[in-house]
Amino acid sequence: MHSQFRARIMNRLIRFRKVNVANSLTKSLQQQNINALSKTYATKAPAFNYIIVGAGSAGCVLANRLSEDPSDSVLLLEAGPKDTLLSSKRLMWKIHMPAALIFNLCDDKYNWCYQTTAQKHMNNRVLYWPRGRVWGGSSSLNAMVYVRGHAEDYNRWEKQGATGWDYEHCLPYFRKAQCHELGADQYRGGNGPLHVSRGKTNHPLHVGFLEAGQQAGYPFTDDMNGFQQEGVGWMDMTIYKGQRWNAASAYLRPSFTRSNLTAEVKTLVTKILFDGTKAVGVEYVQGGLTKKVYANKEVILSGGSINSPQLLLLSGVGNADDLKALGIPVVCHRPGVGQNLQDHLELYVQQECKEPITLYKSQKPIKMIQIGLEWLLKFTGEGTTAHLETGGFVRSRPGVSHPDIQFHFLPSQVIDHGRVKPNAEAYQVHVGPMRPTSVGWLKLRSANPKEHPVIEPNYLSTGTDIWELRQSVKLSREIFAQKAFDKLRGRELTPGSHVQTDEEIDAFVREKADSAYHPSCTCKMGQSSDPMAVVDPETRVIGLENLRVVDSSIMPSIVSGNLNSPTIMLAEKAADMIRGHPALCDKDVPVYKPKL
């Protein structure tokens, strides 16, 4: 009886062990199949040596320079469309006709159309921030003014922790990028991809502005980007053969002959993919589908001063407390991401013109059609310039080491970013301080990549900035009051003759000052010992591997002028770093220093 019972128990145990063994084998085989499928998927998943996020001024430069090595595959991802017609290789006239720049500032097809928070020091106004969302980025929307800033801006960067970014190490990259129509010299480049020209209209109002500036006591400078920035003179412009010469024209399209460069449009990158602290790829949405792509070498963010910090934050790189509050897993605590936001404020001083020589009639519908047709057929006429052909840089007061106020002169009238049509024969100067002391920030509004971040520039939060804008009005009026304008000068349209006291000017500034569209410094470059630095002087994100940021966001502080040319320079220099090339250097290049 016991032996029979024992035999039955043993048989059951044997069957149980066989089942377990079989199950274990089945599970093992299933896991092997899963692993094999994973390996197969990983093998089939697209991979490139470099992934560049953003086809703006910096991204186009990097796509070109990194793809020069045929052994390196490069993928460029752009959230917006091409800057050419999708059905052909024809250029989009809105973008490439220089005189049509106003149309792009309000077109959300090519524009992120950001807005700031209500500015408490500016009557709670919400300011409009257009930024490019198209091949060429903001170089496809801007006023095509080519300004490098001052040599001391880059020497200041060096002192702020950006080792190797002083003027002598930046100047050769300005020259490498540039092809100036006046030829090469110690300051200008002669055979780079970026064509630069001088104003050619010789409009009497431009001539009048230069004469008036000199009558007001400012020197004439024959090259604001050369030996002497200070003074009034003819502006350089990124215009070539009557067309806007954006970063896509200069760098991107010429590189499409290379099979190792792939460029995708209408791709919203939503996340950087990490393996621990190593960036291995990105996730993006295209055509309603979520996709992933991997980088064998590096992921490079070139989305600009809003998109690059936004993507870092969405990916878990930023202030840990802020990320946790939004439910975003923290990959790296870098509290400086989105901080240090700097921008130029400017305002318009507008004067009525007694003679009908402004561009007022050129902005009437019939005349605009005529101008447009001539441009389309021959690339000639009034459509070939943005008309910002003269300007100047001056010092607001004695003791300032280099110019801190900039003028752009226009023989026309602009109202509300061009969203309101001109209403008078008038000319104006765009004027504002170059090195503001008000500093802001941006943060995520939510974990949704499609939602714009909170942008807080914190304008006019210091007495220095208020004083400099007040001084900007006074100095502009002084120029317009000179003899050169006597026969042309009518009544002052803005601020208006009723605005005279400091308090009245300050009130005008609060009500009318606006962004010059130069956001920067939100992923500032510095030493790893600086807790607010985001990238090191090699443009690598501190604390992470295989991840860089290369665009205007890594500037330690804003430069004294427009940002497009410095951003292109920055990307040229970073490309040499990424490829392991020795840094270029121009030693002992003279720079004008005023008597203080």
pLDDT score, position 418: 80
Q: Is the pLDDT of residue 21 over 60?
A: no
Q: Give CA separation, 476 vs 143, 218, 234, 292, 396, in Å.
A: 20, 12, 17, 53, 11
Q: Is the pLDDT of residue 79 over 90?
A: yes
pLDDT score, position 89: 52
What pLDDT band is residue 147 in, cutting at 50, 70 and 90? very high
When pLDDT is averaged across residues 325-352 and rounded to a whole number, the result is: 98
pLDDT score, position 37: 33
When pLDDT is averaged across residues 283-302 and rounded to a whole number, the result is: 98
% of the chain exceeding 70 in pLDDT: 91
Number of residues in the chain: 596
> Among all chains, which residue has been given the structure tokens 């060096």?
158
pLDDT in tens, 342-384: 999 999 999 999 999 999 999 999 999 999 999 999 999 999 9
Of residues 195, 402, 430, 518, which has the active-site annotation?
Answer: 518
Q: What is the token pair recorded at 449?
A: 């990549």
Q: Is the pLDDT of residue 16 over 80?
A: no
Environment class of residue 18 by beta-carbon count within 10 Å: exposed (0-12), middle (13-18) or buried (19+)?
exposed
Tell if the pTM clears 0.85, that is, is over it: yes
Rounded to 10 degrees, the C-alpha dihedral 250/562/528/272 comes to -50
Residue 417 among the catalytic residues: no
> Minimal CA–CA distance to 136: which of 180, 171, 188, 101?
101
pLDDT score, position 102: 87
pLDDT in tens, 173-205: 999 999 999 999 999 999 999 999 998 888 999
CATH code reported for the domain at 52-86+129-198+245-336+441-446+524-584 = 3.50.50.60
What pLDDT band is residue 19 in, cutting at 50, 70 and 90? very low
Q: Is the pLDDT of residue 209 over 60?
A: yes
Every domain of the chain and the residues it spans: 2-44, 52-86+129-198+245-336+441-446+524-584
